[in-house]
Amino acid sequence: MNGITYNELLSSLSLSYKQIESLSSEKAELKRTKRALKAIVEFNRLLQHKTDELNLLKDTCKLIIDIAKYHMVWIGFCWINQNNEKVVSPVATYGYDEGYVENTKIAWDDSGVAQGPTDIAVRTGKPSVCRHILTDKEYEPWKAEALKRGFKSSIAIPLILEEQVIGALNIYATEADAFDKEELSLLMELSNDLSIGISTIRKRAKNKDNENKLLEINKKLEQMIMNEIHKRMQQEQFLIQQSKMAAMGEMISVISHQWRTPLNCLSLVIQDIKEAYRHDELTGGFINDTVSKSMNFIRFMSETLDNFRNFLTPSKTKVEFSVRKAADEILQMFSDLFSRDNIIITLEAEDESESYFIFGYPNEFKQVILNIINNSRDALIMAKKGLSDKNGYGRIFIRLKKRDSKVIIILCDNGGGIEEDVANRIFEHYFTTKATDGTGVGLYISKTIIENNMGGSLTFRNIDGGAEFKIVI
């Protein structure tokens, strides 16, 4: 046989067989590598259009089967189920599964369940390959079910997101010895791309979520602002109403204050009728005098009403009037009341020929004079109560003078004056030392009329034995 021994032939045949075997295995590996590569290219194309995570996972599984021609694939995520067990829960599967994934429980903690490629991959963060399911002892718990479905080798590749394992990509092949180094590195690349895809979709969803939350917050804010505006408007309405009520209350207290003296006088006049009747003095002249006096008080009260209707917002026009005439009128009307309390009011003008004209509101000015002399009357009555000699007269002086085209009105009494510690508070609204007899409104109104409405000044000082008020207009 051309010099070749049988043994030599046999050994050369066996060598060629090994070469053929190795050649065909190389060819199979090359084929699988090519498929894995194709799968990567397709996957990257797929990734560009995906916006939904589950959809991406499902399509990735399908692509791995359809293009890379593996037998079965599934993707599982690490999960803590309702029994508080750490399991790898399948989220997408494709290929020849036939209930394999559903019935396989894979734990990622040390709860006693045997360890297979998936949970090793999840725990270690590294791919785990089983190249011979038939002979691999570690694979024992799943072997029967795997072989039933024709799985001969498998690989589990961890899915890592921001350095944290979130699950695994599991692939099964019908050939033993699949998933060599080259193929493994390509599949790892694919799983890495898948992780990036998941991360991108999640970030996008999170952004969208944030956007929605922002929209919701904006909506809520808008609503809150609207509610606040509504509340403010209601409050404003309430405040307007309240200030109206306060203004009304102030006006009523002013009017009742200003009416007290003429009402007192009116009641005295009426009582006098009874007395005159008793003493048979009810003559025509008396009646005429009484009616004219009463009408004067009523007119004064009616004018007070008119004056103070616009007290808070004076709208009337100012007129020129004689201070002397205004003071005279007040004294004529009220001197009776004062003389009953043994009080003598004296009006003195520095220049007897002068009328002392000023610009302003005559009736309101009369109210001021009345307020000041009424206070003097109160002080004189109080002072008298404390005196042992009850025959002493109370005195009130109204003095008129002119300085630098300004009219000065001095009103003073001998009622003892004002205690120094309260003197600086007498113009305050509601400040009174008269307990229930006073409202503390008189001087406040007087100052408002003189200073705010008539542009003058009203001041006070204690003088020897009494009080002095000074008006400069």
CB of 443 to ligand ATP, least distance (A): 3
Per DSSP bridges, beta strands 86-95 and 72-80 are antiparallel
Stated as kind and residue range, the H or E segment containing 255 is helix 181-278
Could you tell me the two tokens for 359? Answer: 């610009």
* Cβ proximity to ligand ATP, 336 vs 428, nearer residue: 428
Could you tell me the two tokens for 327? Answer: 């003071």
Q: What is the 3-state secondary structure (H, E, C) of 404-417?
A: CCEEEEEEEECCCC
CB of 426 to ligand ATP, least distance (A): 4
CB of 270 to ligand ATP, least distance (A): 23
CB of 225 to ligand ATP, least distance (A): 46
257 touches, from Mg ion, ligand ATP, none (C-beta below 5 to 8 Å by class): ligand ATP
* Cβ proximity to ligand ATP, 198 vs 441, nearer residue: 441
Q: How far, in Å, are 411, 424, 438, 439 from residue 434 at the CA level?
A: 21, 16, 5, 8
Contacts 24+ apart (CB under 8 A), 387-395: 392/342, 393/342, 393/343, 393/344, 394/341, 394/342, 394/343, 394/344, 395/343, 395/344, 395/346
191 touches, from ligand ATP, Mg ion, none (C-beta below 5 to 8 Å by class): none
Rounded to whole angstroms, the Cα distance separating 464 from 289 reads 39
Please identify which residue in 394, 415, 442, 456 interacts with Mg ion, judged by CB under 5 A. Answer: 442
CB of 327 to Mg ion, least distance (A): 18
* Cβ proximity to Mg ion, 304 vs 375, nearer residue: 375
* Cβ proximity to ligand ATP, 358 vs 445, nearer residue: 445
Contacts of Mg ion in 365-424 (CB under 5 A): 375
CB of 354 to Mg ion, least distance (A): 29
Rounded to whole angstroms, the Cα distance separating 362 from 471 reads 14
For residue 333, give the nearest of 286, 306, 369 by alpha carbon.
369
Q: Which residues bind ligand ATP (CB under 6 A)?
A: 257, 371, 375-376, 379, 413, 415, 418, 426, 431-434, 438-444, 467
* Cβ proximity to Mg ion, 375 vs 414, nearer residue: 375
29 touches, from ligand ATP, Mg ion, none (C-beta below 5 to 8 Å by class): none
For residues 440 and 449, is the Cβ–Cβ distance under 8 A? no
Q: Under the rule (CB under 5 A), what is the footprint of Mg ion?
A: 375, 442
